[in-house]
Structures are given as C-alpha cells and as structure tokens.
Structure 1
C-alpha cells in the first residue's frame, strides 16, 4: 500500500517523472502510470535545512513556493528504494513496508542559504497530487514532533470521495519548535488546523495548509529519519501500522526487507540471456516490475464493509489490465491473483456488481464491457481455484450479463434491453433503465460479445448447459455490427479492404463512422468518455474489426480468408493505423497465429520491441496504464502471449536463450529454451518444437505448461517454416468446435 517517491510539478501521475520538473514533496501512496488525472500523493513531506535568517516565515510552505529543482544525475531507483538530491543539497532516500514509508533526509552541514543555520524544518501538507482535497485536519505534538491528520479527497477517475489518514514521526534530532501553516505563512500556535474548500462560484479554492516540526542540528551524520504510517481507517491505525512495521526507524533493515519482498516476486522468473545486452534485459525486468505494482493490497484498510476476504484496490482499469497484467500475475504470482479474484467477488457481494475500474475505495468509470468477467473466467480456466467461491463468482458474471445497474457509467453494462432483443448496442439506443454515456456502440458491442463468450466457457465447465447455449449465441453478436459492404480510404486512396464494423441504428439501418477515425491517422484523441465520444473507444473501427478473440476462425472467414486476413493485419500494422500504446493493439501483434502464420507474429514482436519499448525515458508508448505496457513487453519477451479469458498462450521464440518460470503453487518450474538462438535475432522463426522431448506442432499451449513444470524446446532458423501452420495446430475457436 505504501509507495514512497518524490512528487514533481510536471508529469506527476506516478508522483515522479524524469522530465526535469521541480520537486514539490515526498508522499507515501501512489498509483503508477494511470493515465488521465494523477492519483493519491496525499500528505507530502518537504524538508528544508533551515529558514533563511533563522526566521520561520522565510521558509517555503506552499507547494508553489517550495518547488525545488533536483541535482541532475542524483536520481537512484531500485525495487523498494528511491533517492534524489535537491539543489538545496538535501539528499532524500526512501523505502517502505506494507503501510509505512521511511525517509532518510541528509542535510548539508552549511545550508545553501548563506544566512541560514542548520536547523531543519520538515512540513506535512494537507494536499494530494490532483489537489482534490475537500476538507482536512492536521495537528502536531509539541513534545514529540509527531504530525498526524486526515483529509477527504476525490478519486482520479471515478465518483465519490475517500478519506485518508497519516501519522508522521521523526528520529535523529531534538525538537526545537512546532506549529502549523496556512497559505504561505506559519506560526508556532496553534498546534492544529482544519480546512475546507470554500466552494465559491462552484470552484473550490484548495487553501495550502499543514503542520511542521523544526529541529536542532541532527545528532548523527546530519540525518533525520521520518516514518509515515498511512491508513484508510483512522489516524490511530496509521500510527499503529508505522509502530508495528518499522519500530526502530532502521532504514537499512526496512530497505532489505522491501528488496527481499521484490526478490520473492521477481525470482519466480529467470532468464539465460544468451548474449542479449543490458537494454533488452532492462526492458524485460522493468516490465515485470511495473506489472507487479498494481492492483494494490489494501486488506484490513477497507472501511466500507466488514469482511474476512482480501481487499484489493487500484484497478486502473480492468479494461486495460485484463489484456495482459492479470495473465502475467497469474503466471508469476498466482497467490496474489487468487486474492485479487477473491477481492473482486467480495466487491460484488457488498456492492452488487463487479468493478471495471476502481481506485481509492471508489467506483471508477467503465470504459467498455464488463471486463472483470474476463479476469474471473481466465483465472477459473487456469485452475486458480484455491479458497475461491466460484458459485458466487458465477453469479457475479451472470449479473453483469443480465442485470443493468442504475449507473452503468461505473459498473456493469448499459443497453442490456437492446443487447438481448436486437443483438447489438444501437447508436441511437433507447435505454430508460439506467444512466451512462450513450457512446461507443461499436466497441461496447464487440466487448459485450466477448464477455458473453467467456461466461459461456465458465457455464460449460460448471455444467450450466442452458446458459452455455445462451451466451455462446450472444457471443456472436459482433456480426450484427459488421457491414460487409463498407470500404475504407486513407487520403482518398482506397485501402483495398472491404467489410468493417459500423454504427447501426435501432431500426436496423447503417450509420457511418470513417473506419480510420480515432486512429493516429484521423482525429486520434476524439474517442473518449465524453458525450460526443463517438462509436469506438480509444481506437478505430479498423482496429475493433479484429476484436473477436473467442472465434478468430470465423472472423478470418468473414474478412476474406487466411491470405486476405494476413494482408489486412499487415496493413493495420504498417499503415500507421495501429497505436501500440493502447491495449487493444496488443492481441493483433499475435493474431497471425490464427491464420497459420506464427512467424509473422514473431516479426511484429521484434518490431515493437525495441522500437516502441526500450530503456530510454520515452521507452513506454503512451502511459503505462498501471503496468499494462510492462506486462505486454514481459509476456512478449517470454514468448508466451495470452489470449486472455481463454486457456491459450500463443507461442513465439523468447527474446532470450532460455526463460524459466517457477510456479509458486506447485513449486514446479516451466522452461522455454531456444535452440540455435542468436543475440542479433536473425533466427526468430520456429522450425520445430518439442514438449518434454516429444514433437509439438501446435502454435499455442495451455496453462498446464506452468502448473506441470513442462519444458518447451524451440529450434530456430532464419526463415519461416511450416511449424504451427496446419489447421490442427491453430489455437481454438468457437466455430471450429473447440472451446477451452
């Protein structure tokens, strides 16, 4: 839950960014790479070596006034540790335990301000990164210097409010004086302050306010340690968390424990580089790391209901994370995935719906389908079953499919009446049964269809034959918005392909949205969650016309057969229509497998990595979406990319000579080994394969590979081969009579 880092006044969605902007504070909770508005960053600390002239009001208190550049080259970051030196010559280091951040501030012997003496002041600010505070209260203890408080804030991508609490203690120097500040003025009396947004003209003024503790010169190594406990329950619980988790202010011990926790997660994977350089290894490990940051374990910190089940938060958003994050977590940390599934089901128990997005204890906005259905079914099919109430889990996905909530902007599905009667979401839908943005009719239709496909898989496995037949039929509703006569042009030149998803009205007539609209080639940023957000979400009809994950065989026939499909998929990748920085672009990298051309999937993988995914500051296309980009890179480089919601991993050669994955539940280690591997990637085409020493011709594999600790050996060559190209070797599709 605690994720300490410096906050900046530039790109601050995750707190810190390497954009050269100034440091405004050091806060204790963050959501990383969320997109949109920044999140959390509540109650930042800020250290100063001394007030100029030793006058209190010459210290800097407001976030604007105290913003300080960093010393270039001073940033140091590792799992469980972050450090940066300010131009004030204060070196700041931070590490964490579960609910507590520990900071080590090293002050200069002589403050940068020549007329100041070394008398450090550390303030705590009643603010958050998006400056969303509604009210807050803070106090400081005159004897101990402890600063504690709470505030009510708004979530970054959702509705409602949440209240957070903190408790800061200090070690390493004796207290000189304490007090509070309001705006940019401070005093030693009183010892507490409360603030609310004034609400004038419906534009609340967020008044800077907080508390401070000033010290005599530190007694050892010019260092002061600050320990900050956090809680969503109470200040008392925040203090208790800190005292229990870091009782002795031992920075090195806390850092060692944090590093060990990360090693326990990352050590389930091992690679034999085979001569591959540091850049590509960094891409891989950074991807695994970033995909392991969220969702976050808030168990014991949920004030909304009483439950013995785990509680996870920071699902930003399942529309993004179902495509690769949860698949990677299922592989490397199935225990956490199990707890996340239990948490999702418990949210359904207490709030009546599975979330599609959730942060800071609040409901987040739904971007398309009811995508938690995919996550639950994916886990069910991959034998993530321990301690999970799958009967209630099944009720939850059926609720998404059958019961429209009053506010489908934040949960469930809208337009269910049309979905059930017409078999699509009309562009002019009549929906008096709930509220939500009447947009995205195309993308919602294909996402609802896939959600129902996943529900059908679960229904079949549980023996619910009638449900299986119903949802199988509904999974084919994507066809109802496919206009086989629609063509597409770019700058007046026909692309040569016909047949695209198109808007459709309640009376069955077709509307029109240019198939390239909302691609990088035309009005890229026009399709978001707003009243005029159009009929596709964050992507074009060109892109969404490939989204039939449950029945790719039927889609390939619909689009003109395998050869035409491959040419069309090539065009998507090569024309500039596809933006890999949106998660819908992930699966099309590997959809060649379904047309019997797995070699072309390998080619595309090696194009996007490292051209779009690399170790530079701009080495993530777009924002990370809470690790979605990281998980795409990691899974791609492992050579086992999932079709999420199915027990299917599409096989391409790993980017390393050997990859090994230890399953935490079974203790067994699965191995993928490349034979004839070369670090220059001339040999990226599978010539033949063996599974546990026996010939293996399928271009996909199931999750039992990880559970059993199997060994997959891929013999590589420099040219495309016939491996994985026969009909019987292709991944399963609904229309071919095989459902995982």
Structure 2
C-alpha cells in the first residue's frame, strides 16, 4: 500500500528520479522505500507534476491537480504514511511514433538507481531480451539437459526450472539497513513452503547459490536477532509454522556444504529459534503468539514438550517444532555434542499429542489438539481442521496429513500405527477419492481432488514417497506419483495444483521428473521413477549426474532393477554422497509392479520412543 513518495523532473522531463514508500503486503511489514531513476529516448514537449488526495478505501477517490511548471513534488513530510499521491504528466511531440524508456530501481538511493540504468546498454528491447535469455540459459536452464523430445514434458520441466528460480531475490549491495561483507537476499516467500524440496534442489544443482542464501539467513540473524521464515520488503514477517530456516541450514550441513558458511554462527542462529521467545506482534489472524519470526508458541514447547490449543496451530506447530529440533540435533552432533541429545529428545514431542484411543477410517491412533492436562478437545475429528488457518489447530492441511510428516523417525510412526501392514493400509487410505470433505489450504487451482492427500499443499509433498519405508512397496510410490503428476500438472494455465509458492510446487515436479526426492535434514533421497529416457544434471562443482530410463513408456514406468554408479542397487533410497560429485543412476523400467527393493530401508536417524 502506498504511504508516501516524491518525483523530481530533470532535463525538462527527459529524465526523472524519485521514490515511493510502501507498507503492508502478505508479511505485514513496515514501510519500505524504493528509489527510482528513469529516462526517455525522446525529450517531452511539456512536463508537469500532479498531486491528489490520499486514496481512502472508504471515500471516493477525488481528482488530481496538475501543477504546471513545477519540477519537484512530494506527497508529504518524511515518515508520514497517509501522504498525497504524486506523479508526473509528460507530453511528447506529435511525431513521436515509438517511445522508449529505461528504468532503474534501488533500495539505497536515486543515484544508485541511475547507475543501474547503465546496465541496460541498448535502447532495443530485443537486445535486453536476448541478454536475459542468454543468462537464464547459462545459469539455470542448462543445469538440466536431455535428448528426450517429448514436447509436453520438456515444457513442464523447463517452465518449472524457471519458476523455481524467481525467488529469493539477490539484493547483495542493496541492503538499506546494515553494511556487511555477506550476501544479502530478500523475498523468502516463504521458507515454510520451500524447505521441503526447493532448497534441497539448490543444494544439488547450485551449491554456491544455496550457500549464499544460507549466509544471508545467518547475517539477518546477526543484525535482527532471528532468521526469517517469511521476509519481503527487507523485513521479517509471517511465520506459518516452525522456524523452518533451521531445516534449510541442517539440510545443507549434513550434506557437507561449506562455501564460506560460518557454521558456528549458523548453529547459534538455530539455537536462538529453539530457545528465545520472540515478542508477540499480536497478528489479528492469531494473537496468541508472534507471527513475525522465531517460534511464537515456544513457552508451551519448553513447558510441556508440545503445543497446547492455548496457541493457534497447536497440532501443526507441534509437528514442525519437532522437525526443527531434530534439525538442531544434527548440527549439534558435531559442533556442540552436549546439545545433541537435548534436541534429539525434544524432537520426539510430536508423540505427546499422538492419542492411541482416537479412531477414524477404521484406524486407531492420530494426532490431536492436547490440553495441558492431556485431554483432547471434545468432538475432535482428525479429518477436519476447520478453517485450516492461523487460529485453527492445523494450518493448511488436515491433522491426518500432518501425521505423516515426521520423516526423521518413521520407525516410531510405523510402530504407533500398528506395524508395516497397517501403516500401508493407512497410507492407501490417503489416496481414496471422496474422503476429503472440502478444499483445504489456499491457492488451489484444481479443486477436483478429493483425496486426503492434497497435491497442492506442501504438508502432503512427502506422503506418496512413504511407501519406500516399507519392504518391497516402492512400486506403490511410483504409481501414486504417476497418478498425481498426470492428474494435476500440465502445460495449461491451471497446470499446477496450487500456488507455485516461490517454486515449491515446481521443484516437487522437477524432483519427480528426475526420479528422486530429498528427505530434508537428512543426506538421503528417495528413489521413484524418472520421466525422461535420459537426463543430465549439473551437480556440485563442475560435475554431472546422468539418469537413464531404459524401456520408459506410457505404461512402462515401474522399476524392475537399477544400477547406481555402475553397481546393482536394491535400496529404495540413495545418499547424497552417492551423487554429490556426479555419477549415474540407470533405471530398467517395465509395466510390471516388480519387487526389487529388498535392501536396507531408509533410516530413521531421529528414532526416540517416548513412554507417553
């Protein structure tokens, strides 16, 4: 929303400078100032400024007043956020048939915005387009290559790669608030969406970029006390669940990423999230605790080991805080060994809200909103989350969905569910049409899905891969994933099942096309089935990973056997070490649902069984 502004006409209007001051947005941040500088290729025949009253949404917008000959105008005193609207009115000679303009913007000054204009060397739009296309191809799209000629899949793949690299914004040198030698990134929008698989994609394809974003997160902690979860306009804001920058840092740490990251400070930043209660910003959506940064429900977490309904999102935040503390334990294991067991034990907090006497769908045992005395909210249904928003007991997903989101301790989860056979039956139920009673979450473009598994919202991202934790059932993951992509992803305008969310859904699609999927905070990837006959990825520093799929066809996509780096492979997962320096994964596919995955099951490094 506009707060204030200024326009200065120069060179009779052929160039102008100024700034706009804005506030609000999804993260509900404070005022931020954007400076501008622009020039035209033709001098105007007249140049004037105008002003108009502030746009009150409850009042009719009154007309503007033109001030003839005035070359500078401001909306009001500095700091006033209900200033008049201001602008410029330019007229050009009648024989002007083509008008061109260059515009530079900066968060620092108009002078810097003017310097950015010089980066656009040509007045020809096609020259700028060619330069942008070359940079996208060189830095992003060439990271993934294939000789496959399926036009639909190629369009989906490269469109997803494009959207997956739009945010966050590299604003190094454009930080208006502090000086630092560290990279500076803004528009983390938001890490709650991206930590599950987008940030892991950066780690594999663009480790230098991944390192810069992590260094930026740590530097924000140095100057603003907390790393962000959602950040835009140079301000932290909107924490949807846990302190999920912790997961991003741990995922990089366990995969050995260095590249200038100060891991001592990184762990201290994570520990701040785990131990320091952020001040309550009294967000109208949920005034029970901070939504600006950190973990707003930390008092309950420290006192009870879970979040009670005294705080909003009690179920979803309990599960997410558990993953956050597991993330801390993995970094502490090397850096601060005395903290390791503390956070590993705390990561089991989700078990404290697992109630074995709650039944649904003919199954027993579900997560539930749990009061301090251990009782459950009367009338609770694990297939319902009300509005599923900030003050609900679950955020943008059903409790039954969140019940699957503990990949660090699948061993305990399977035990609580009644063993592998029952776990498989419960997982099957997530994909039965008609069990979801309505839309859950926000931003869905496809509303036809009625399964409990929600392909358009991030808490369900990992669910189809969970069959890999069962012996000989990897083919079921492949079948579920094939159905999901074919049903909900396409090249049409509604070709995603929900908001892209800064590339979150797009990265999910990319991983599926590759036949891999990361288990965040662990250095492993689930194996599924690739969608291309061959595909080559740039990984690490100047290495290539080649993935091939022999016998791939419309009905031939189940894994029959595979080789990893030339060796026969019987596990449904691989480690980061297997591919970080390049290598090969060779799939042999067929139409039969073969049982080939007879090796070790994926690990549960956070296995802690509480006696609750």
Q: TM (normalized to structure 1)?
A: 0.74
SS in 1 for 2:178: coil
Of the structure 1 ranges 581-590 and 178-187, higher mean CA displacement relative to structure 2 is found in: 178-187
Q: Which position in structure 2 is the counterpart of 1:582?
A: 457
Deviations 1:575-607, CA, capped at 9 Å, x for gaps: 322321111111112111112321111111111
CA distance in 2, matches of 1:732, 1:269: 31
Aligned to 1:195: 75
Once the 2 structures are TM-superposed, how far is the Cα of residue 223 of structure 1 from its aligned partner?
Answer: 2.3
- Distance in 2 between the 1:374 and 1:589 partners? 21
Structure 1 residue 217: Cα displacement:
4.7
Match of 1:470 in 2: 342
Rounded to whole Å, the distance in 2 between the matches of 1:156 and 1:246 is 29
SS in 1 for 2:5: strand
SS class of match (2:277):
coil
Distance 1:417 1:174, change over 3 A: closer
Describe the SS at the equivalent of 2:535: strand
**Aligned partners of 1:366 and 1:409 also within 8 Å:** yes
Residue matched to 1:75: none
Name the structure 2 match of 1:414: 296
Q: What is the Cα deviation at residue 178 of structure 1?
A: 1.0
Tell me which residue corresponds to 1:215: 92
Looking at structure 1, the residues matched to 501 and 491 of structure 2 have their Cα atoms a distance apart, in angstroms, of 17
1-side partners of 2:459 and 2:192: how far apart? 9
* Other-structure match for 1:151: 20
Matched, 1:263 2:263: no
Equivalent residue in structure 2 for 1:538, among 384, 393, 396: 396
Shift of 1:511: 1.9
Q: Is the Cα contact below 8 Å between 1:363 and 1:410 reproduced in 2?
A: yes
CA distance in 1, matches of 2:530, 2:24: 39
Q: Deviations over 1:512-531 (max 9, x none)?
A: 4321113xxxx4xx1222xx
Deviation at 1:175, TM superposition (A): 2.2
Q: Is the 8 A contact 1:700 1:731 kept in 2?
A: no
CA contact (8 A) 2:457 2:498 kept: yes
Distance 2:263 2:167 in 1: 23
Query: 1:550 is matched with which residue: 408, 411, 432?
Result: 408
1:73 aligns to what? none
Q: CA deviation at 1:717?
A: 1.6
Q: Which residue of 2 aligns with 1:497?
A: 363
**Contact 1:142–1:177 (8 Å) recurs in 2:** no
From 533, 538, 555, the equivalent of 1:662 is 538
Structure 1 residue 207: Cα displacement: 5.5
Matches within 5 A, 1:8-157: 132-157=1-26
Q: Distance in 2 between matches of 1:567 and 1:206?
A: 61
Q: Does 1:511 align with 2:381?
A: no
Check whether the contact 1:637–1:656 (CA below 8 A) recurs between aligned residues: yes
Q: Look up the match of 1:128.
A: none
Q: How does 1:623-634 map to 2 (within 5 A)?
A: 623-634=499-510
Q: How far does residue 394 in structure 1 lie from its aligned partner after superposition?
A: 0.8
* Alpha-carbon distance in structure 1 between the residues aligned to 2:8 and 2:272: 46
Distance 1:620 1:692 in 2: 34
Q: Please say if residues 468 and 601 of structure 2, whose CA atoms lie closer than 8 Å, have aligned partners that are also in contact.
A: no
Name stretches of at least 5 consecutive residues in structure 2 with no aligned partner.
53-62, 281-289, 436-450
The answer to whether 1:671 aligns with 2:546 is yes
Secondary structure, aligned partner of 1:160:
strand
User: Given the alignment, which residue of 421, 443, 449 partners 2:322?
Assistant: 449
1:188–1:620 Cα change, 3 Å: farther
Distance 1:504-1:717 versus aligned 2 partners, 3 A rule: same
* Maintained 8 Å contact 1:553/1:733: no
User: Contact 1:670 / 1:705 at 8 angstroms: preserved in 2?
Assistant: no
Aligned equivalents of 2:23 and 2:515: distance in 1?
Answer: 41
8 Å contact kept, 1:724–1:730: no
For residue 7 of structure 1, what is the aligned residue in structure 2? none
Alpha carbons of structure 1 residues 622 and 259: separation in structure 2 relative to 1, 3 Å? same
Paired residue for 1:619, among 485, 489, 495? 495
Q: CA deviation at 1:547?
A: 1.3
Q: In the alignment, is the contact (CA less than 8 A) between 2:549 and 2:586 conserved in 1?
A: yes
TM-score (norm 2): 0.89
State how many pairs are aligned: 568
- Give CA deviations for 1:550-582 in whole Å, capped at 9, x if unaligned: 111211111122222122112112232232111
TM-fit CA distance, 1:457: 1.1
Give the 3 Å change call, closer, same or farther, for CA 622–691 of structure 1 in structure 2. closer
Partner of residue 562, structure 1: 420
Give the alignment of 1:70-469 within 5 angstroms.
Answer: 132-158=1-27, 159-171=29-41, 173-183=42-52, 184-185=63-64, 186-195=66-75, 208-217=85-94, 222-243=97-118, 245-264=119-138, 265-273=140-148, 277-407=150-280, 408-428=290-310, 438-462=311-335, 464-469=336-341
- 1:357 shift after superposition: 0.9
Cα distance in 1 for partners of 2:334, 2:489 equals: 38
Alpha carbons 2:250, 2:327 under 8 Å: kept: yes
Cα distance between partner residues in 2 of 1:399 and 1:724: 41
Structure 1 runs of 4+ with >4 Å offset: 204-208
Report the 3-state secondary structure (helix = DSSP H, G, I; strand = E; otherwise coil) of the residue aligned with 1:637: helix
Answer whether contact 1:155 1:362 (CA < 8 A) is retained: no
Provide, for residues 239-277 of structure 1, a one-character-per-residue CA deviation record: whole Å limited to 9, x for no partner.
11212x12443433322221121012110111232x5x3
Q: Is the 8 A contact 2:558 2:590 kept in 1?
A: yes
Structure 1 gaps, min length 5: 1-131, 429-437, 489-494
Task: Tell me the distance in 1 between the aligned counterparts of 2:155 and 2:597.
Answer: 30
Offset of residue 418 of structure 1: 2.7
Distance 1:461 1:660 in 2: 34
Check the 8 A contact 2:538/2:544 in 1, yes or no: yes
* 1:635 CA displacement: 1.1
User: Any conservation in 2 of the 1:315–1:358 contact (CA below 8 Å)?
Assistant: yes
8 A Cα contact 2:345 2:608, kept in partner: no
CA distance in 1, matches of 2:597, 2:95: 67
The Cα shift of 1:732 comes to 4.2
Query: 1:361 and 1:710 mapped to 2: Cα distance?
Result: 40
**Does the Cα contact within 8 Å between 1:425 and 1:444 map onto a contact in 2?**
yes
In the alignment, is the contact (CA less than 8 A) between 1:697 and 1:729 conserved in 2?
no
> Once the 2 structures are TM-superposed, how far is the Cα of residue 196 of structure 1 from its aligned partner?
5.0
Q: Is 1:527–2:388 an aligned residue pair?
A: yes
CA–CA distance in structure 2, aligned partners of residues 496 and 456 of structure 1: 36
